[in-house]
Amino acid sequence: MRFQNKIVLVLGGNSGMGLAAARMFAAEGGTVHLTGRDRATIDAAVASIPGATGYQSDIADPAATEAVVAAIEARDGRIDVLYINAGVGGFAPLRQITEEAWDHTHAINLRGCVFALQKALRIMGRGGSVVVTGSIGAHGALEGNGTYAAAKAGLYMAMKVFAKELVGEGIRVNVVSPGPIETPLLYRNPGMTEDQVAGLREMMVANIPMHRMGEADDVAKAVLFLASDDASFITAANLFVDGGLIELG
């Protein structure tokens, strides 16, 4: 029960690894608030997580995040644990990258995540913990991943800087960098056919030293560790959850 009496906000908590983490936070005593864009999956998540509250909120809009923070402040007074997980994928080689796709991805995966931290920080204090979902994409070159990799690399470096700014305030900031994880994200790639996704999946499994895709729970367990007091001497860490892909691949 590492999150007893803790107020937890999971941004992007209605699907995939965010949903897995939201479930685990609640199972360990946390009061969970979660966001997403899709009403139906937000409602389903809230219905399956005891005591959870859901908000339909686009992370690309800092004012929408501020409204979520204000609602949490009114109800629970503070945020102890912030998991910034919202993100979108999308592949395109350089010649096919559009300005719209670049701006869309960066508005969510980088700009939105940074301002989400800024907004939530208003009601976070000493002992607070922030975990951010990065990606192995920020640490290795995969053809077609330029837009996404640049956003996640920017996010990784920004969070490292913020960890330094916040260490004196007693707030820890850590990044989890998943490898290929079996979540709905893989099937939401706008530029890819089903066959291409299957091919990509096969190629990824062949390259992962553990020869399997990760599960949402694999990532959630790492997130809970970094968010908890078990990691009280850890800040600015980047934890790969990738079956050894980056370090051994």
Ligand X SMILES: NC(=O)c1ccc[n+]([C@@H]2O[C@H](COP(=O)([O-])OP(=O)(O)OC[C@H]3O[C@@H](n4cnc5c(N)ncnc54)[C@H](OP(=O)(O)O)[C@@H]3O)[C@@H](O)[C@H]2O)c1
User: In the complex with ligand X, which residue's Cβ is closer, 61 or 167?
Assistant: 61
Residue span 20-59 as binding mask against ligand X, x where in contact by CB under 6 A, dash where not = ---------------xxxx--x----------------xx
Residues 90-119 that bind ligand X (CB under 6 A): 108
Quote the tokens at residue 199.
Answer: 């091919």
Query: Residue for token digits 């951010």?
Result: 132
Residues 117-146 that bind ligand X (CB under 6 A): 133, 135
Query: Residue for token digits 């920020």?
Result: 138
As annotated, the active-site residues are 148
Residue span 189-228 as binding mask against ligand X, x where in contact by CB under 6 A, dash where not = ----------------------------------------
User: In the complex with ligand X, which residue's Cβ is closer, 167 or 210?
Assistant: 210
When asked if residue 60 is in the footprint of ligand X (CB under 6 A), the reply is: yes
Residue 108: strand, helix, or coil: helix
Sheet arrangement for strand 238-241: 53-56, 31-36, 7-11, 81-84, 129-133, 172-178, 238-241
Task: Find the shortest distance in angstroms from Cβ 55 to ligand X.
Answer: 9
Neighbours of 134 (CB within 10 A): 26
Q: Which residues contact 23 (CB under 8 A, 6 or more apart)?
A: 48, 49, 220
User: In the complex with ligand X, which residue's Cβ is closer, 58 or 76?
Assistant: 58
Query: By CB under 6 A, how many residues form the interface with ligand X?
Result: 30
Q: How many helices (H) and strands (E) does the chain have?
A: 9, 7
- Say if CB 36 and CB 16 are below 8 A apart: no
Task: Find the shortest distance in angstroms from Cβ 214 to ligand X.
Answer: 7
Amino acid residing at 37:
R
Q: How far lies 195's CA from each of 91, 106, 146, 187, 215, in Å? A: 14, 27, 21, 11, 21
Q: How far is CA 204 from the centre of its chain?
A: 21
Stretch binding ligand X (CB under 6 A), from 47-55, 83-91, 122-130, 190-198: 83-91
Binding ligand X by CB under 6 A: which of 18, 54, 90, 243?
A: 18
Q: Which residues bind ligand X (CB under 6 A)?
A: 12, 14-18, 35-38, 41, 58-60, 85-89, 108, 133, 135, 178, 180-181, 183-186, 188
